[in-house]
Amino acid sequence: HSHTVFFDSRIPREMQKHHFITRVDLLPHLLSNHFFATFRLLNTNSSVDQRDHSSKVEQTVKVLKETEHAKSKCDEQNKNAINSIAESQSGAVEKPKPSLIIRIRNELIRYYHGFRLLFFDIKVLHRLVWRVFKGETLTDREHRQMVRTVADIFRLVPFLVFIIVPFSGFLFPVFVKLFPNMLPSTFQHDADKETKAKAELKLKIDMAKFLQQTLNEMALKAKRGFHSQTAKEFEIFLEKIRKSDTESTNEDIFKFSKFFKDDFVLNSFSRSQLISLCMLLELKPTGTNDFLRFQLQYLLRLLKADDKIIQEKRIENLSISELQRACRARCLLTLGVSEDQMKSQLQQWLELSLNKDIPTSLLIMSHVLNLSEDLSPEKQLKATILSLPDSAIMAAKYHISETEGRIDYKTKIELIKKEEEAIIKERTELETVAKTLKEKLEATVSILNKTRTIKDEKKDLDVKLKDEVEEETKVSLSKEDLLTLESALDEVSKEKYELLLEKEGLQEIKKEMKNYKEDIDEIKQFSSKEKPDLRETKAAIRLRKRVEIMVQGLDKLYSKLRYSFQQTKERKDLAEEKADDLVNIKDLYEAMKISQKVGDETKLQKVIDFLEIMDIDKDGYVKVKHVKKLIEYLEKETNEVYPSQTQHIINEMMKEEIKEKSK
C-alpha cells in the first residue's frame, strides 16, 4: 500500500469548479485486517488533542538549531551578515547605551505593565478556579488560559512556587471536603477506603500534570535586554506589507511566515470560519469549536508528516493516482493540469513546507484565497498574512519574543484580553446551541405526543418523526454514558490489579519531564557556543524541582496502592491474558451491568456499540490509552457524541501512529 495519505477520488459537484478535494478517507476500509493486527504493536505517543505539546524551551531550541543550520549553509558574506543580526539579537552590545533617565523610564514602564499583567492574571485565574471548585468542566481554551495565567504568576512572583505548590498538597483533603465536586464523579459516592485512596491518587496526578504543563508554558529568560529585536523587525515587516507602495523582500516573507503556527491561526478563527474550513477540507462541520479545531489540527499534522514521506519517496516515483491524491489533499489544482505541472506545484509545496518551514494552515489558505490568480508563492503568503485576524498576528509577535527570552508584558496583556473575549463568545455560542437543541427536542416530543391522537392519515408522520428521534438516541452517547464507561474502566482496572489510568498518567508526566530536562541541557550547550545567553528562570527551576518531588511521591503512592490491591485478591494467571494496556470489552460490559448506575439495557448497549467502534481488529479488546484519551476529550463536549466523531478520532490516531512508526 502507498504510504501517502489516502483521499477519496470522488469530487463533489459543488467543488468541481475549484478543481480540488481534500476529504480524508477512512483508512480501515483501505487496509486489510491482517495489517491492523500489527496496530497494537506500534509504540504510540498520540494524544487526542489539537495542539502540539512542545514546551517553550523546546521551541527555543528549535529556533536556535534553525539559526545554526542557516549559518552553516551560508558563504562568508552571508555569515558576516547573520553574525551581525545575531549580535543585535543578543542584546545589541555594540550600540551605545541610552541615558540613565531613559533607562529608568523604560524600567518603570516595564514594572507598570508587569503589575498590570499580575493583577489581570489573578482576576482571570480566580474566575477559572471558581468554576473548577463548582465542579464545572473547563473548555479547552479555558484550560489553556488557566495554564498560561499560572505560568505568568509564577514568573512574575517566583517565591509563590514555595507557597502555592506545597500548600496545595497539604490542603488537598480540605479542598475535597469543602468542594466535593472536585472529585471525579465516579468516586463521589464510594465509601471504600481503597477507592477513596485511588481517587486521591487520580487528583494528585492531575495536579502534577497541570504543574508540568505550567512548566512547559514558562519561557526562558535572556540575561541582557528586555526588548526583542526580531519582534521589532516583525512589526516593521507588517507595516511594509500593509502599505501597497512598499515592497517587502522575499526573504522577510519566508522568515516571518513560519511564526504563524497552526495553533495561532486556528485559535483566531471564529466558529463560522472553522466550519467553512472543515467543509472545505471535507471534515464533519459539527460539534463544539474545540472539536472542530481538533479535526483540523490532526489533518494538518498528518499532511506535515505526509510531506516528509513524499520527500523521502521522491515525487518522481509517485504514480499518477498518488500524485493526484497528494495534490488534492493540499488544495492544489488537479483537473485540467498536466502531470509535470502537478509535480511542479507539489515540489513547490514541499519546498515551502519542509525547507522554509511554512505552517501547513498558511499554505492551504494561500492556495485557496489566491486560486483564481496566478501569483508567486511569496505574494500568496503576503496576501494570506494580511487576511489573518489580529489575534493571530499578536500571538505570533509574542511567540517571537518568548523564543528569545524577552517577554513583552504589554503584548501579553492584550493577548489575554483577546483570549478572554474569545472564551466569553464561545460560552455564549455553546449556551445558544444547547438552548436551541433543547427547544428542538421539546418541539419534536410535542409533535410526537400530538400525532398519537390523530387519525390514521397522520400515522405516517408519527412513525417518521419517532424513527428519527429513536435513531438519534440509538447512535448517540450522552456525557452520563461516558461517565458510566469511565467507571467501568476503573472497575476492570481494579480486577486486573493494575491502576491502568493512573499508570498511564504517571508515565506521561515522567516522559514530559525527561524531555524538558533534555531541552534545558541543549540550551546550556548552545549558550556555551556564543549563542544568545538564555537561562531558565528562577520560578521554572523551583517549579521543576517541586514537580520532580511530587512525581517521586506519586510513584510511592502508586506502588503502595497497587500492592494493596494485589493483597486483597489472588492474582490471576496472566499468561492467558492480553497485554496490560488492553482491556476486554466483555469485562467492561459486566462491570457496567453490575453497577447500579446502569439500569437500562438499551443505554448499556449504546456504550458497547461505542467500544466496538474502537475495536479495530475485532479481537474483543480495546486499548486503555485510547479509551482514556477519548473520554478525556469527549467529556468536554456539551452536545452528545456520535459514532462518526469517534470513528474519525480513532482513524486519525491510527494514521498518525503508522506515520510515526514509518519514520
pLDDT tens per residue, range 571-608: 444 434 444 567 777 777 777 666 545 456 666 777 77
- Whether 306 and 329 have beta carbons less than 8 Å apart is answered as yes
Kindly list the domain boundaries of the chain, sorted by start residue. Answer: 13-31+250-403
209 phi/psi in degrees, rounded to 5: -65, -40
- Whether 627 and 12 have beta carbons less than 8 Å apart is answered as no
pLDDT (0 to 100) of residue 181: 55
Strand-strand pairing, 621-623 and 582-584: antiparallel
- Whether 448 and 465 have beta carbons less than 8 Å apart is answered as yes
SS3 label, residue 24: strand
Kindly report, residue by residue over 90-123, the tens digit of the pLDDT.
Answer: 444 455 677 888 888 888 888 898 899 999 999 9
Instruction: Output the nine-digit C-alpha cell for 228.
Output: 526583542
Cβ partners under 8 Å of residue 5, min gap 6: 24, 302, 303, 306, 325, 326, 329, 655
Low-confidence ranges of the chain (pLDDT < 70): 1-53, 69-96, 168-195, 223-226, 244-246, 372, 449-499, 527-532, 565-581, 592-603, 625, 629-663
Is pTM beyond 0.75 here?
no
Burial of 193 (0-12, 13-18, 19+ CB in 10 A): exposed
- Whether 398 and 268 have beta carbons less than 8 Å apart is answered as no
SS3 label, residue 477: strand
Instruction: Output the nine-digit C-alpha cell for 22.
Output: 481534500
pLDDT (0 to 100) of residue 260: 92
SS3 label, residue 641: strand
Q: Name the nearest CA neighbour of 406 among 592, 234, 159, 602.
A: 234
Q: Where are the alpha helices (DSSP H) in 134-192?
A: 140-156, 160-170, 172-178
- Whether 442 and 167 have beta carbons less than 8 Å apart is answered as no
Q: Name the nearest CA neighbour of 257 among 367, 364, 363, 387.
A: 363
Q: Name the nearest CA neighbour of 597 among 244, 187, 237, 168.
A: 187
What share of the chain has pLDDT > 90, as a percent? 8
Instruction: Work out the number of other CB atoms within 10 angstroms of the CB of residue 219.
Output: 26
pLDDT (0 to 100) of residue 361: 92
Distance, CA of 629 to CA of 633 (rounded, Å): 6
Distance, CA of 577 to CA of 565 (rounded, Å): 18
pLDDT (0 to 100) of residue 472: 43
- Whether 93 and 550 have beta carbons less than 8 Å apart is answered as no
